[in-house]
A = this chain, B = another copy of it.
């Protein structure tokens, strides 16, 4: 399958990918939904107002509200129709070819925005390797995995208001920490253990569920609109002090970054892989015999202000969730919690079972006890310093020869805001 838009064979945004995003351009006040194709963005708002908008699977106004929310809220049955429509529109025989300039925006001229208006945001803890690594660091290998972990996808509610799009810098958080281990009196000081967490987020779409209703994994899977890269920036020292007994709060809600592109389940079909074996067996409400993972490598790079160039840190993989995404959603609805379109759910840190596959600095530096060499500019890396940038990316090659990319999830640490008390 080809497109009239030209791009190299290994381009992350070929016609087989078609990730959704929201963009704006200079001189136009409003944001518009679009689809990445090669080095361009197909302007879906413009398309929806054109004569080419025929058999699109949804009404034109779905693309005229400035966000992807109306598409996400549309029936899941419509999503493949919209994808087929866009594929036709970008095919070599498309009538759009002669009018491409009116509908295709060079990506380098666009500013990307949060693609959806996140209602509720939930974060899981679903990577066995990450849970095991953290458990070993905190409790030792004997008790690394806690009793509930292999029975349910542990999760907490996150903060939707602090989710930002890739490229948004944020200040090092200031909060209550213990100056020395064993102190009883905390201090209010800039975080000293600022970390990232490599995650894959997914978006709930379609009709909301009602209070008290429950989805099976196979029902839940149909509601997954797409996937995006996520960095759940974490303040480890603030977390250690605050999280007893109700879980992380300020240590997680100062910034969460997502990539601007949402990759559809259909684009990820070629990368399906076997799900984890579950021993002990999961309870029947989590039964997901058709469940699968995705084999998509995820890379982490860090750029120090001294070097100015990204250095590779880890390569993990989206397949490292012990629970399928459908099981995570099914569990979420088990007690009757309503799910609403544009809810976002994070996988939790995705660590691979290799020293060079760890999804956080906590694991990589063994809680800061084992500094490592990032590059010539940072030979004693433990946690993030001011000016450091972190970039997650994912590009995977399909058996058919094309590549599928997720775009980038990037952020830079600004100095803490001084406290003038």
A148 / chain B contacts, CB cutoff of 8 Å: 176, 186, 241-242, 244
Q: Which parts of A286-312 form the interface with B (CB within 8 Å)? A: 287
- In the assembled complex, the Cα of A213 lies from the Cα of B171 at a distance in Å of 9
Alpha-carbon separation in the docked complex, A162 to B122 (Å): 13
Contact present for B285 and A419 (CB under 8 Å): yes
Q: Does A417 contact B (CB under 8 A)?
A: yes
Shortest distance in angstroms between A118's beta carbon and chain B's nearest beta carbon?
10
In this assembly, does A129 line the interface, its C-beta being within 8 Å of a C-beta of chain B? no
Name the interface residues of A240-291: CB closer than 8 Å to any CB of B.
241-251, 253-255, 280, 283-285, 287
| Bound complex: CA A283 to CA B343 (Å) | 36
B335 touches A173 (CB 8 A): yes
Smallest CB-CB A-B distances: 6 pairs: A247-B247, A173-B335, A284-B421, A156-B246, A157-B157, A171-B212
Closest to A251 in B: B335
**A334 contacts the other chain (Cβ, under 8 Å)?**
yes
Cβ of A114 < 8 Å from any Cβ of B? no
28 pairs, CB–CB < 8 Å, chain A vs chain B: A120-B160, A147-B184, A147-B244, A151-B185, A151-B186, A154-B242, A154-B245, A154-B249, A156-B156, A156-B247, A157-B157, A157-B158, A157-B159, A162-B211, A162-B336, A162-B338, A170-B211, A173-B334, A174-B214, A174-B336, A188-B285, A211-B255, A243-B245, A250-B334, A251-B335, A255-B336, A284-B419, A285-B419
The complex places the Cα of A71 from the Cα of B304 at a distance, in Å, of 45
- Main SS class of interface, A: loop
When chains A and B are docked, how far (Å) is the Cα of A176 from the Cα of B287? 14
Number of copies: 2
Whether the Cβ atoms of B157 and A336 lie closer than 8 Å is no
Most B CB within 10 A of own CB, among A171, A249, A338, A339: A249
A: which residues have CB within 8 A of B? Answer: 119-120, 122, 125, 146-148, 151-152, 154-162, 164, 168, 170-171, 173-176, 184-188, 191, 208, 211-214, 216, 235, 238, 241-251, 253-255, 280, 283-285, 287, 331-332, 334-340, 343, 414, 417, 419, 421
Q: Which residue of B lies closest to A176 (CB)?
A: B152
Question: For the complex, what is the distance from the CA of A120 to the CA of B285, rounded to whole Å?
Answer: 29
Q: A173-B335, A175-B335, A214-B419 are in contact. Are A155 and B186 (CB under 8 A)?
A: no
Knowing A188-B283, A280-B185, say if A249 contacts B159 (CB, 8 Å): no
* Contact call A336/B184, Cβ cutoff below 8 A: no
Closest approach, in angstroms, between the C-beta of A97 and any C-beta of chain B? Answer: 42
In the complex, besides A148-B242, A161-B340, A246-B248, 12 extra interface pairs with C-beta distance below 8 angstroms are A148-B186, A151-B185, A152-B176, A168-B211, A173-B335, A174-B334, A186-B283, A188-B284, A235-B335, A243-B247, A245-B247, A285-B419
| Complex Cα–Cα for A242 and B155 (A) | 9
Closest chain B CB from A279 CB (angstroms): 12
Complex Cα–Cα for A296 and B46 (A): 57
With A338-B161, A419-B285 as known contacts, state yes or no: A152 contacts B246, CB within 8 Å: no
**Residues from chain B with Cβ under 8 Å of A155 in the complex:** 246, 249
Nearest Cβ on chain B to A193's Cβ, whole angstroms: 13
**Contact yes or no, B283 A176, CB < 8 A:** yes
Closest to A340 in B: B161
In the docked arrangement, what's the CA distance between A120 and B160, Å?
Answer: 7
Which chain B residues border A245 with CB–CB below 8 Å? 146, 154, 243, 247
